[in-house]
Amino acid sequence: MTDADLVLVDGEVHTMDPARPRAHGVAFGGGRIVAVGTNAQAEKWAGKTTEVVELGGKVVVPGFIDAHAHLMESASRVGNVDLGGCAPMAAALDVLRAAVPHAGPGEWVVGDDWDESRWPEARYLTCEDLDRASPDVPIAAVRVDRHMASVNSAALGLLKIPLGTRGFDATSAGRPTGVLKEDALEAMWDVVWPSAERLARNFREVATRALSLGITTVHDVVGADEIRAYQIAKAGGALPLRATLMARDRLLPHLAAAGLSRGFGDEWLRLGAVKVFGDGSLGARTAALFQPYKDDPTESGMLIHPPRELRDILAGIHAAGFPSAVHAIGDRAIELVIETIEAVAPEAGPRHRIEHAELLHPEHVERMARNGIIASCQPNFIGQWSRPGGMYEKRLGFERTARNNPYREVLEKGVVLAFGSDGMPYGPMEGIHWAVNAPFGIQGITMDQAVAAYTVGGAFAAFDETDGGTLAVGKRGDAVILSGNAWQEPETIRETHVERTIIAGRVAWRAP
Ligand SMILES: [Zn+2]
């Protein structure tokens, strides 16, 4: 018996392991958990070099798994202009205008996270608006949902997107409005996206932020640049948390041709599901609904792939040995995805997943349970948009809002629930808060269920339940020490903060 690296004693340890749900002490050695149980059971691993932490009753949980993240993508935003807190619209334009003199020759000004639902104007930014910030330095302002951006005239001139391109918004007279979605948005990203080297350099900052929130693993949506950036970061010793990569579906032919499938890699960096878009977002009214949008009866959203095409894509992913992770928010998209998975993978087992899965009908949940399809959901969306008069109610009306994100029903019907944030914003405790304090009965779940969705659920979705997700002997040494006691005071969950984040049995982050 070698000495432990780290021993925690006198904690309120919520292991998330049904065989032993509560403990006081945990000992970590060789990157793994070597003891969970009484203080004495943990302490007996302590030696001369062991760090012993007296918790004084503080809460310990397994390291959080953010099952839907864009962490390496968010490294692209380091240095961008933050429009998140800007209201009204003029304030966002002021912030952009102030950034213009700092753009080097040939550089763009990129702003993130504008949200017209916070503005009295309640409309999207246009080319005309942005030209008032600068007529000649290219500006791209990305909406909070990342499914839309607005650009100014200088940017339109550089992008040269042909009229008629999908998602390239124009007036009836054929003048571009500056609003870019779908393919037009992709064309913008092709020009604006930073290099893999720059992403890797920026990664330390976003990873540190994730650690400060207790996130020890992300299921990260990535393209080729982000995969390369992850490898650069890892080779440079700058990968402080674990990443299961959800490669975008355009990479599938290459992955499959190389003989790669899920699980390839190691415990820090490996391949997970393949990410596919089924529809758009509610904010942009592109999520595919059966009934039209409440605030635009002419619109009911869009399917990104027609049914035959989606079937070919999912069949390809399944045949290559990957789970698919299909973005589907509206009920029409969700139903198509379920139908398609049932057709290409009739046996439960491959752990295909639906990302967001917001507007679920009861029969969708039943079919997901039967087929073993995982619900990968973002409870922070409830906090953002479920308030009375909020975005959900505007777009969907009250009835559909009250049915949206039905986590309780999902669990009751036996569907595996994996929580993530979609980076909007990151923060497991914020998400857990809204899952526990949800406004509608069909949504609200218990603290244990919510923490399990942010730990055990993500581990299961990544076929990682034997090594991660709970605090149990032999598992990876990933844990979080929290302030306060969210179990005793559920209404203050979101005020809880992380005191220390432990990865591979070492303290990787501590509160200043
Ligand atoms: Zn996403």
Those residues whose C-beta lies under 8 Å from the C-beta of residue 226, and which sit 6 or more positions away, are 72, 73, 196, 199, 220, 245
Q: What is the pLDDT of residue 104?
A: 86
Distance of CA 254 from the midpoint of ligand 1 (Å): 22
pTM: 0.88
**Model confidence pLDDT, tens digit, residues 107-165:** 899 999 999 988 998 999 999 999 999 999 999 999 998 889 999 999 999 999 999 99
Distance of CA 70 from the midpoint of ligand 1 (Å): 7
**Model confidence pLDDT, tens digit, residues 344-381:** 999 888 999 999 999 999 999 999 999 999 999 999 99
pLDDT at 1 over 80: no
Q: What is the pLDDT of residue 146?
A: 87
Q: What is the pLDDT of residue 219?
A: 98
Distance of CA 22 from the midpoint of ligand 1 (Å): 34
Task: Note whether 1 and 24 are within 8 A (CB).
Answer: no
Does 490 sit behind a cis peptide bond, omega within 30 degrees of 0 on the bond before it? no
Q: What is the pLDDT of residue 360?
A: 98
Distance of CA 279 from the midpoint of ligand 1 (Å): 12
Distance of CA 355 from the midpoint of ligand 1 (Å): 8
456 residue type, one letter: V
Supply angle C-alpha 157, 160, 165, rounded to 5: 135
Distance of CA 374 from the midpoint of ligand 1 (Å): 16
Distance of CA 424 from the midpoint of ligand 1 (Å): 9
**Model confidence pLDDT, tens digit, residues 63-116:** 999 999 999 998 998 889 999 999 999 999 999 999 999 988 888 999 999 999
SS3 455: coil
Q: How far apart are CA 208 and CA 65, in angstroms?
A: 15
Six-digit token string for 433: 């808060």
Sheet holding 25-29, edge to edge: 32-37, 25-29, 6-9, 51-54
Distance of CA 35 from the midpoint of ligand 1 (Å): 36
Residue 139 host element (H or E): strand 139-143
Q: What is the pLDDT of residue 179?
A: 97
CB atoms within 10 A of CB 419: 29
Distance of CA 69 from the midpoint of ligand 1 (Å): 6
Distance of CA 246 from the midpoint of ligand 1 (Å): 10
Q: How far apart are CA 508 and CA 213, in angstroms?
A: 12
111 residue type, one letter: G
Q: Beta-strand (E) ranges in 211-268?
A: 215-222, 242-248
Task: Note whether 339 and 326 are within 8 A (CB).
Answer: no
Q: How far apart are CA 112 and CA 24, in angstroms?
A: 43
Distance of CA 155 from the midpoint of ligand 1 (Å): 25
**Model confidence pLDDT, tens digit, residues 291-348:** 999 999 999 999 999 999 999 999 999 999 999 999 999 999 999 999 999 999 998 8
What is the CATH superfamily name and number for domain 1-62+470-512? Urease, subunit C, domain 1 (2.30.40.10)
Distance of CA 512 from the midpoint of ligand 1 (Å): 30
Give the right CATH number for 78-192 from 3.10.20.30, 3.40.50.300, 3.10.310.70, 3.50.50.60: 3.10.310.70
Distance of CA 28 from the midpoint of ligand 1 (Å): 33
pLDDT at 247 over 90: yes
CB atoms within 10 A of CB 153: 18
Each domain of the chain, given as residue ranges in start order, spans 1-62+470-512, 78-192, 196-468
Q: How far apart are CA 175 and CA 178, in angstroms?
A: 9
For residue 52, the 8-state DSSP code is E
For the ranges 142-146, 228-232, 276-280, the lowest mean pLDDT is seen at 142-146
Q: How far apart are CA 176 and CA 130, in angstroms?
A: 13
42 residue type, one letter: A
Mean pLDDT on 484-491: 92
**Secondary-structure breakdown of the chain: helix, strand, coil percentages, each rounded to the nearest 5:** 35, 25, 40
Q: What is the pLDDT of residue 2?
A: 87
SS3 8: strand
Six-digit token string for 173: 């007279």
Q: What is the pLDDT of residue 457?
A: 98
Q: How far apart are CA 353 and CA 325, in angstroms?
A: 5
Transcribe 75-87 into DSSP letters: GGGTTSEE-TT--
Q: What is the pLDDT of residue 388?
A: 87
Distance of CA 422 from the midpoint of ligand 1 (Å): 5
pLDDT at 284 over 80: yes
Average pLDDT, the chain: 96
SS3 397: helix
SS3 270: strand
Mean pLDDT on 429-450: 97
Distance of CA 225 from the midpoint of ligand 1 (Å): 17
Report every protein residue that has its C-beta within 5 angstroms of ion ligand 1.
422
Distance of CA 59 from the midpoint of ligand 1 (Å): 30
Task: Give yes or no on whether 1-62+470-512 and 78-192 have one common fold.
Answer: no
At the top level of CATH, the class of 196-468 is alpha beta
